[in-house]
Structures are given as C-alpha cells and as structure tokens.
C-alpha cells in the first residue's frame, strides 16, 4: 500500500504532497506488523527460539526485528513490564516500536505471553487452558491496530 501511495505521489507530479496522501503514508509508517509466537509451554519453544536467535541477522536484513525470551526476561522480566504495564496505550505503542528497532515487521517469541507455566490450568474451574491468553492477546491487538496481530502457537 505504501509503495502504491508513493507511486501515486510521483505520478501526480505534486510539488507539495496532498494532505490526504501524506496522512495515508504517515499511517502506514506508524504501524508495524507484529507476529507473536506464543508457545505454548512444552512444545519445543526453546529449540525454535534458539534457531530464531541464531538467524537474527537474516531477519534484520529482511526488515524484521526479533525479540525472544532471552532479551525480554534479562532486560525487563516480562513483555508487559517492557511495554509499561500502567502506561497509556500511546506510550506502549512507542515502546513497542522502539523494541522493533525501526523495522516494519517484528517477531516476538515468548510463551509466557499466554501466562506462566503455573497458570496453564489455573482458571476458575480449571477447565480452561491458558485463561490469561485471550485478555493478553486482546491487549497486544489494541497496540498494533489497525494492523492485524498474527499469532502462531504449537500444540502438543
């Protein structure tokens, strides 16, 4: 979409950009595409995360930042602390963009996004797996709106 908008700008030969076109380009630049690998626990997440970390330089070359548990846990403890649990959504969006290091795509791999291992079946009647997952995914989806939040999970 951004390439199409830039192409329209060039083809129209505008000396000064059209305000609507500027707004559309700015909106495209403002939002990053986020892919979440959310585990789940005990599904070989560590193996996958090690391979992702080994190939982090390839991600960067292709315009994708990678943030895995080793960085999240060492620097912040949890992703929610990294984003500022009590910060406003705009502040959290800025922090998320900073974590993405200027890349248009951002891959986050952290199985604790859905809750800690002890939380797996800790719902009101223990009949719900990962009871915190829906609320947490909803929070992340709000931070990347209007883009979609892509979620990958493994089941074992």
Tens of pLDDT, residues 99-150 = 888 888 899 999 888 877 776 666 565 667 777 888 888 888 888 887 778 9
Residues 97, 112 within the same domain: yes
For residue 119, how many other CB atoms are within 10 A of its CB?
16
CB 89 within 8 A of CB 96: no
The neighbouring-strand residues paired with 66 are: 107
Tens-place pLDDT, residues 39-95? 888 889 999 999 999 999 998 999 999 999 988 888 888 887 887 778 888 888 888
Residues 48, 74 within the same domain: yes
Residues 90, 20 within the same domain: no
Residues 105, 39 within the same domain: yes
Higher per-residue pLDDT: 11 or 116: 116
pLDDT given at position 123? 56
- The count of structural domains within the chain is 2
Residues 3, 40 within the same domain: no
User: Domain range holding 79?
Assistant: 32-152
Residues 65, 140 within the same domain: yes
The candidate with the shortest Cα–Cα distance to 113, out of 21, 41, 53, 15, is 41
pLDDT given at position 19? 55
Using alpha carbons only, give the angle 71, 74, 76 rounded to the nearest 5 degrees: 90
CA atoms within 13 A on the CB side of 63: 5
């Amino acid at each position: 979409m951004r390439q199409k908008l830039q192409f329209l700008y060039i083809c129209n030969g505008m000396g000064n950009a059209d305000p609507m076109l500027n707004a559309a380009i700015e909106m495209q630049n403002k939002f990053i595409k986020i892919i979440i690998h959310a585990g789940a626990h005990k599904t070989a997440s560590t193996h996958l995360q090690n391979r992702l970390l080994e190939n982090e330089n390839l991600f960067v070359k292709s315009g994708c930042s990678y943030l895995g548990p080793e960085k999240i846990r060492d620097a912040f403890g949890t992703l929610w602390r990294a984003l500022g649990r009590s910060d406003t959504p705009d502040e959290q969006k800025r922090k998320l963009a900073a974590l993405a290091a200027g890349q248009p795509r951002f891959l986050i791999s952290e199985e604790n996004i859905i809750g800690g291992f002890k939380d797996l079946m800790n719902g009101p009647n223990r009949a719900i797996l990962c009871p915190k997952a829906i609320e947490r995914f909803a929070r992340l989806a709000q931070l990347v709106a209007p883009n979609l939040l892509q979620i990958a999970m493994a089941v074992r």
